[in-house]
Chain A
Amino acid sequence: MIIEALLAIPMIAAILVYLIKHRRAIELISTMGMAMVLAACAYLAWHVFSRGPVTGSFWYLDGLGAYVLLIIAFIGTAATIYSIGYLGREYEHHEIDLGRIRYYYLFFHVFIFTMLLVCVSSNLGIMWIAIEATTLASAFLVGFYNKDTSVEAAWKYIIICSVGITLALLGTILIYASSVNSLGESPDALSWPTLTEHAKNLDPTLLRIAFILVIIGYGTKVGFAPMHTWLPDAHSEAPTPISGLLSGVLLNVAMYGILRYHIILTDAIGPGYSGSLLILFGLLSLAAAAVFILLQKDYKRLLAYSSIEHMGIIAIGFGIGGPFGIFGALLHILNHAITKSLMFFGAGNILLKFKTKSINDVKGIATLMPLTAAFFMGGGLAITGSPPFGIFISELLILIAGFAEGNYPISIIYLLFLVIIFAGFMYHISRMAFGEPPADATKEEPNYIGLSVMAVLLMVALALGLYIPHMLSGILANIVKIFGGS
């Protein structure tokens, strides 16, 4: 019942924001809607972690689903509050009109709805439909500004992701075929709780082929190299709050899709096969990200490549496995979501002020916008894995897991790429923060509402680096069990 209510909230909010023609009312409804989603997700998570999975005819929510659900709701709430300041500024400068604002919030809530649906559905087919729907809903947000570059980005996004996801559907069909062969034709034949339970009876050959198709298909949406080409375009052209949402949340939702199959394969034939594929794509993504971060000229694309890097790290964590690896990867999902949305929000303030995405043209934000600069630099330290921020802890845990499981070459390559990316990333953002500001620029913070959101996110990122609350580690240990780990 509560799941149906959770799914209904963003849809009702979407309809309301589109019907109402008053900017303040739209912003209020949007924020209230996301706050209610957050409350519902918190309740569901409490239920899952204290009493066990929530089930329904089409739904099944376990610890992993509830965890991703909470991240969607938290970052979604942050993004909607940030959007008030961001779009408000563009509205006041007559860059967009009220019609565009309604359109934006409409697709924002539909996008949230589709992501929530991915996490609560028990049926792999419905999960596929929901993941495809996330692409369709967010394509309009990527193409929001209707410029030549944003139309291009939206077109690449929808075409590349649709093709990718078509392969994932083929994988889903093969899983269904192997399940029908062994379990008989039943409505449960595609539900992942049933598949996980009967994993040993499934045909291993079909499972292996299916997993390759799924990891390439959903991996396109996660942003694994070499299927990542849509990602920097979409992230740099979308309105900045949406970039934060795409990066911090959508990529994790697609990763969640892969993890469901990874868990089925782990139960059927052990973690080795799907784990090594995850490590392979993880390393490829790290390598691609390292090269493009060093050469980057556009700061939103810089952040996009950093997302590819972090998705690679998460994949390596799950691929290496073991209690440390999975715990670290789960923690990294949360840390990355918080830190990356913080970084994009900072980039949004810079974009509002400077009207350019080129790193060379942005100088002296420390003088012009001291608060944004402080949060942005703090986020930059956090995202590259410096102590005392959360990402340092989770990256370290994954490194420890690599050594503990005896994967020395992988761990060393991983560490090497992290060092390269740290150097490249810090070089670029310190050039933006310091230096002589343009002569005609005035000292002004464009988005105060956004700054308050960023302050909260930075505090959380810092807190997670200083200590992991007992409740969080309990939750994560609970989820690690789902992976069949000890």
Chain B
Amino acid sequence: MIELGNNIINGLAVVIFLTTFIIVAHTRLYPWVSTYAIQSLALGLLATAVAYFTDSFHIYIVAALAIIIKSVIIPRFLRYTMDRIRVDKEVEMLVNVPASLLISGGLAILSYYITEPIIVQGNVITKNCLAISIAVVLIGFFIMITRRKAITQIMGLMVMENGLFLAAIATSYGMPLIVEIGIFFDILVGVLIMGVFAFQINRTFETVDTGILRRLRD
């Protein structure tokens, strides 16, 4: 039973890991959002599996919230924002795809290295996910730095948040329910507000390229 649980959870973690790399490799915006939705779905299913195998009711609620908010509402809102500002469909990169993938691979190895002391002493069935979750956080951060559009920066932040969600599940089966709900609320409101600002950037600069944001400096 535990063996099966481990396999399912590790399998879903691999899906999350791979989708992160696919996001790094995407050069078009709309498929990027779909991949993010798939990643979030895998995350929600992983949480469901954890809930089933540890028999804890509150994780079911968290899993349901993850699926609804991260794989339905946020992707829909991002598509809506992109339609409204008629963003052109290319992802603008400061680092090209092969180099980005190479760096992401390096970040993944780094995260295995830094999480090793934590994994050794853990005793939860999800402990293997921790390295993957840190890798997802780091790669999300890398996406934010190297992709220039406002929308892609929001997406990078969302990938980071997915990594954190996985980290919370991996280390301690998720945070207390009230905290998880609050975090979802913050993420949702945060994305809505960032969407509004992306729209304003588009209106005031007639582009969503954040490279244009260079007026304020010393």
Which of chain A's residues have a CB closer than 8 A to the CB of B183? 125, 128-129, 169
The closest CB in chain A to the CB of B198 belongs to A155
Q: Of the candidates A129, A163, A205, which one forms a contact with B185 in the assembled complex, judged by CB atoms under 8 Å apart?
A: A129
The verdict on A125 contacting B176 (CB below 8 Å), with A148-B215, A155-B213 known, is yes
* CB of B150 closer than 8 Å to a CB of A: yes
Per-residue 0/1 for A154-186: is the Cβ within 8 Å of any B Cβ (1 yes, 0 no)? 111011001100100110111011001100010
Which of chain A's residues have a CB closer than 8 A to the CB of B182? 125-126, 129
Which of chain B's residues have a CB closer than 8 A to the CB of A125? 175-176, 178-179, 182-183
The closest CB in chain B to the CB of A191 belongs to B176
Q: Is the beta-carbon distance between A143 and B200 smaller than 8 angstroms? A: yes
Q: Is the beta-carbon distance between B179 and A129 smaller than 8 angstroms? A: yes
Per-residue 0/1 for A284-304: is the Cβ within 8 Å of any B Cβ (1 yes, 0 no)? 000000001001100001000
Which of chain A's residues have a CB closer than 8 A to the CB of B121? 181, 203
Q: Is the beta-carbon distance between A177 and B197 smaller than 8 angstroms? A: no
Q: Is the beta-carbon distance between B201 and A166 smaller than 8 angstroms? A: no
Q: Of the candidates A169, A185, A292, A301, which one forms a contact with B172 in the assembled complex, judged by CB atoms under 8 Å apart?
A: A185
* CB of A146 closer than 8 Å to a CB of B: yes
Q: Is the beta-carbon distance between B150 and A155 smaller than 8 angstroms? A: yes
* CB of A140 closer than 8 Å to a CB of B: yes
Most buried by A among B167, B168, B176: B176
How far apart sit A128 and B181, CA to CA, in the bound complex (Å)? 12
Per-residue 0/1 for A107-149: is the Cβ within 8 Å of any B Cβ (1 yes, 0 no)? 0000000000000000101101100110010011001001111
The closest CB in chain A to the CB of B187 belongs to A132
The verdict on A295 contacting B218 (CB below 8 Å), with A166-B161, A177-B172 known, is yes
How far apart sit A149 and B189, CA to CA, in the bound complex (Å)? 23
The verdict on A159 contacting B157 (CB below 8 Å), with A166-B164, A189-B176 known, is yes
Q: Is the beta-carbon distance between A147 and B176 smaller than 8 angstroms? A: no
Which of chain A's residues have a CB closer than 8 A to the CB of B110? none
Q: What is the interface size of chain A, counting residues whose CB is below 8 A from a CB of the partner? A: 52
In the complex, identify which listed stretch (A231-239, A441-449, A456-464) lies at the interface while the others stay far away: A231-239
Q: Is the beta-carbon distance between B141 and A163 smaller than 8 angstroms? A: yes
The closest CB in chain B to the CB of A139 belongs to B193
* CB of B144 closer than 8 Å to a CB of A: yes
* CB of A151 closer than 8 Å to a CB of B: yes
How far apart sit A176 and B178, CA to CA, in the bound complex (Å)? 14
How far apart sit A26 and B121, CA to CA, in the bound complex (Å)? 57
Q: Of the candidates B118, B157, B185, B204, which one forms a contact with A206 in the assembled complex, judged by CB atoms under 8 Å apart?
A: B118
Q: Is the beta-carbon distance between A163 and B216 smaller than 8 angstroms? A: no
How far apart sit A295 and B205, CA to CA, in the bound complex (Å)? 29
Per-residue 0/1 for B109-128: is the Cβ within 8 Å of any A Cβ (1 yes, 0 no)? 00000000110011100000
Q: Of the candidates A132, A146, A237, which one forms a contact with B186 in the assembled complex, judged by CB atoms under 8 Å apart?
A: A132
Q: Is the beta-carbon distance between B216 and A237 smaller than 8 angstroms? A: yes
How far apart sit A174 and B134, CA to CA, in the bound complex (Å)? 12
Q: Is the beta-carbon distance between B153 and A159 smaller than 8 angstroms? A: yes
* CB of B171 closer than 8 Å to a CB of A: yes
* CB of A314 closer than 8 Å to a CB of B: no
How far apart sit A360 and B189, CA to CA, in the bound complex (Å)? 41
* CB of A187 closer than 8 Å to a CB of B: yes
The verdict on A232 contacting B172 (CB below 8 Å), with A136-B190, A148-B204, A156-B213 known, is no
Which of chain A's residues have a CB closer than 8 A to the CB of B200? 143, 146, 151
The closest CB in chain A to the CB of B145 belongs to A163
Which of chain B's residues have a CB closer than 8 A to the CB of A292? 218
Which of chain A's residues have a CB closer than 8 A to the CB of B160? 163, 166
Q: Is the beta-carbon distance between A158 and B216 smaller than 8 angstroms? A: no
Q: How far, in Å, is B11 (CB) from chain A's closest CB? A: 23
How far apart sit A272 and B45, CA to CA, in the bound complex (Å)? 43
Which of chain B's residues have a CB closer than 8 A to the CB of A170? 137, 164, 167
Which residues between 406 and 442 of chain A lie within 8 Å of chain B, taking CB atoms? none
How far apart sit A26 and B164, CA to CA, in the bound complex (Å)? 41
18 sample A-B contacts, Cβ–Cβ < 8 Å, listed by A number: A125-B182, A129-B179, A129-B186, A132-B186, A139-B193, A140-B193, A148-B205, A152-B201, A155-B197, A159-B144, A162-B157, A163-B144, A174-B171, A180-B172, A185-B172, A189-B176, A190-B176, A190-B179
Interface residues in chain A, defined as those with a beta carbon under 8 Å from any beta carbon in chain B: 58, 123, 125-126, 128-129, 132-133, 136, 139-140, 143, 146-149, 151-156, 158-159, 162-163, 166, 169-170, 172-174, 176-177, 180-181, 185, 187, 189-190, 203, 205-206, 209, 232-233, 236-237, 292, 295-296, 301
